[in-house]
Structure 1
């Protein structure tokens, strides 16, 4: 189903039919009413108490798979320049953006609009996206400032992500270098753009999913939209799930663990399931930087965790290329994807 990108034309006065989801796929804003929605954990990466920071990362990863980081080392001016360049791209005339439009998932840079497959039917989700390469950097020539903003931003964000991965390894009882090398050798960025939606109750910006990689680092221009799925394990009398807004402090970065972290940690850390709801009044732009394994890299539960706990591995070994093939075929559905790799 070909579709004109949402950012190419005038503001929509109503939601086009192909963006209207079946009732069972539409967002629900109701909470379970039994507990107050939890707050997004804050991890301060400043200071030299790595043991404390590692504990906080593990606690947030075990409970939510999501947390925000402050004192992360990405300069404010670098973040601002990158966001301005991203917003400028989506404000370009349609013919200039469409020079980078492609349905080839392997092409970088690539501009596209969001199409997802569900139950034999194709639905459109309320998002345009510009995919950028990080290693090596790959970006459009237009706007002119994008490349100059992308390189320092990518370098600083990847440094923060690798610090978090080292601390997560320590917190899990692994060597701090466990996630280095081919296990974190891939990187890419999605620049997501969600124009104002006339009726946010009938569509979504992104369907519920977990990210395929190790860790994702997110920066956004306005709050609201991103939601994480929170599990109530019964301590508060619930035992169910609820969608909770991911509200980060100004200047903070939001991190979430992906499927590979859950596998390597043998289920100790949660891959953060999330979705994006639309807003009626303000356009939202977010930059999601993904850190993931090289395609040929073998992924499996860390042997130290399996042996020390005296428990069997929850997942079988696989190559990351195999995982991505399954992830695409199953349209990112968490349970369907992971069923292929359960031991």
Structure 2
């Protein structure tokens, strides 16, 4: 089995830049996932976020999760559960406006740490999008502009804990799906594994690695690249011991952003667009009910959905990228 792609971001700053860019290109074209290290987010901040996330779960969420499991009889189930995930989660919204002050039970230090972490991740996401632009031959800033809409991108973090599960063969931590949005940055537990992606018909473990960030591509990047890059099915396997922490941050288009294959890529490949043009919010509404199903029927359904006349334009809105 070929090795899961791990990319040292420091290679981009020297003579190995070309090799690192080729690794990113290969990962995007053949895996839909890669893991980065030396990404510029301090280990101290990551350690703090991990400690506070686990403390928050133990203090405010663990008992609630146990009560939910008991109330549904999940700990004693004898049959496969296919409409529920073995996870305890809450959501933080960072852009266009933050809701971090409104989330109950978050202690002051945790709010501050998550705010700083989100700011670092936002910068990292935009840096990665420009690396993708470079590999694709798109102008710098194209993907950020494609995501922009009228109010900028949406960006948020799903904070998850996957507690020990007594019947992991019957209940998934998180059922198989592709991500609806743009670029996903995952800070995952380095001691408890569970994340897997589907490659060439086989489930492959995404290796836990201390202080790394796992990157994966969402459905919108598949559309914009006209299928050159593809979103990939992935899932979380529940474990019998250990509590797995997962902070998945989603850098997505703005709700009113119009998504469509990049004209420059269509011209370069001398092909027709094979994906529709649609408003991101409309896609999300459809995705909400079909998340755990194949993505192709979602794309087909969007072909039949008319664009609002005011949005049926091809020029991208948003700021021109600067250095």
Give the structure-2-normalised TM-score: 0.80
Structure 2 equivalent of residue 161 of structure 1: 125
Q: CA deviation at 1:137?
A: 3.0
Structure 2 equivalent of residue 4 of structure 1: none
| CA distance 1:302–1:93, shift in 2 (3 Å) | closer
User: Is 1:143 paired with 2:111?
Assistant: no
5 Å-filtered alignment, 1:1-343, equals 36=1, 38-46=2-10, 47-48=12-13, 50-93=17-60, 123-135=83-95, 136-139=97-100, 140=103, 141-181=105-145, 183=147, 185-221=153-189, 222-231=191-200, 241-333=201-293, 334-341=295-302
Partners of 2:160 and 2:297 in 1: CA distance: 25
Partners of 2:255 and 2:239 in 1: CA distance: 36
Structure 1 segments (4+ residues) deviating >4 Å:
93-98
Q: CA deviation at 1:146?
A: 1.4
Partners of 1:294 and 1:188 in 2: CA distance: 12
Partners of 1:313 and 1:284 in 2: CA distance: 40
Partners of 1:186 and 1:206 in 2: CA distance: 23
| CA distance 1:225–1:96, shift in 2 (3 Å) | closer
| CA distance 1:81–1:182, shift in 2 (3 Å) | farther
Q: CA deviation at 1:133?
A: 1.1
| CA distance 1:266–1:142, shift in 2 (3 Å) | same
| CA distance 1:284–1:332, shift in 2 (3 Å) | same
Relative to its length, the structure with more helix (as a share) is 2
Q: Which deviations, in whole Å up to 9, do the C-alpha atoms of 1:120-162 show, x marking residues without a partner?
A: x972210111101112332235333211111111111121111
Q: Which deviations, in whole Å up to 9, do the C-alpha atoms of 1:176-229 show, x marking residues without a partner?
A: 211124605110100011110012111101111111111100011234110000
Partners of 1:286 and 1:299 in 2: CA distance: 28
Number of residue pairs aligned between Structure 1 and Structure 2: 277
- Segments of 5+ residues of structure 2 without an aligned counterpart are 66-80, 305-323
Q: CA deviation at 1:330?
A: 1.6
Query: 1:125, 1:205 within 8 Å by CA — same for their partners in 2?
Result: yes
Query: 1:330, 1:336 within 8 Å by CA — same for their partners in 2?
Result: no
| CA distance 1:127–1:94, shift in 2 (3 Å) | closer
| CA distance 1:285–1:312, shift in 2 (3 Å) | same
What's the Cα RMSD here? 2.3
Partners of 1:208 and 1:125 in 2: CA distance: 10
Partners of 1:154 and 1:218 in 2: CA distance: 12
Partners of 2:241 and 2:82 in 1: CA distance: 27
| CA distance 1:71–1:153, shift in 2 (3 Å) | same
- Segments of 5+ residues of structure 1 without an aligned counterpart are 1-35, 99-120, 232-240
Query: 2:82, 2:171 within 8 Å by CA — same for their partners in 1?
Result: no
Relative to its length, the structure with more strand (as a share) is 1
Partners of 2:64 and 2:163 in 1: CA distance: 15
State the secondary structure of the residue aligned to 2:180.
coil
